[in-house]
């Protein structure tokens, strides 16, 4: 199975940020297509329906957004840009949907800011 940047996938065992537990969770593929083609892993950003509206390090996708239906998500959700991780492609359960390039670019911009701001 191949995956592209902007795909939302379901993984069976996404880690909580405290690493004390795992659960099935949708995640956004943020790694580029060249990386995805040659590596057994993809880089993911977890997606949660537990939205923290005051957190600027997440991108929120609401159910009333016109693009929501293409995401495959069930609820308004937050893409958690500060919790990215690598995951083996062959363990991904399935693709749920996609986000538009504008959402992917917003996520990537926040991640770059997290990684480069001292």
Higher pLDDT, 21 or 49: 49
- CATH numbers and ranges of domains, the chain: 7-116 (2.30.30.110)
CA 100, CA 68: separation in Å to the nearest integer?
10
Helix (H) / strand (E) containing 56:
none
- For the chain, strand residue ranges (E) read 7-15, 22-29, 41-48, 58-61, 77-80, 85-88, 94-98
pTM value is 0.90
Measure CA 17 to chain center. 14
The pLDDT tens digits of the residues spanning 105-114 come to 999 999 999 9
H runs (alpha helix) in 1-118: 33-38, 101-116
Query: Could you tell me the pLDDT band of residue 27, with boundaries at 50, 70 and 90?
Result: very high
């Amino acid at each position: 199975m191949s995956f592209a940047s902007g795909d939302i996938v379901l993984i069976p065992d996404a880690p909580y940020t405290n690493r004390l537990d795992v659960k099935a969770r949708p995640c956004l593929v943020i790694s580029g297509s060249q990386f995805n083609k040659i590596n057994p892993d993809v880089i993911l950003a977890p997606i949660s329906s537990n939205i923290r509206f005051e957190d600027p390090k997440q991108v929120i996708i609401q159910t009333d957004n016109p693009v929501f239906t293409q995401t495959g998500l069930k609820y308004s959700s937050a893409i958690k840009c500060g919790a990215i991780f690598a995951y083996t492609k062959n363990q991904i359960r399935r693709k749920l949907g996609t986000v538009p390039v504008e959402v992917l670019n917003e996520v990537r911009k926040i991640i770059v800011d997290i990684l480069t701001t001292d």
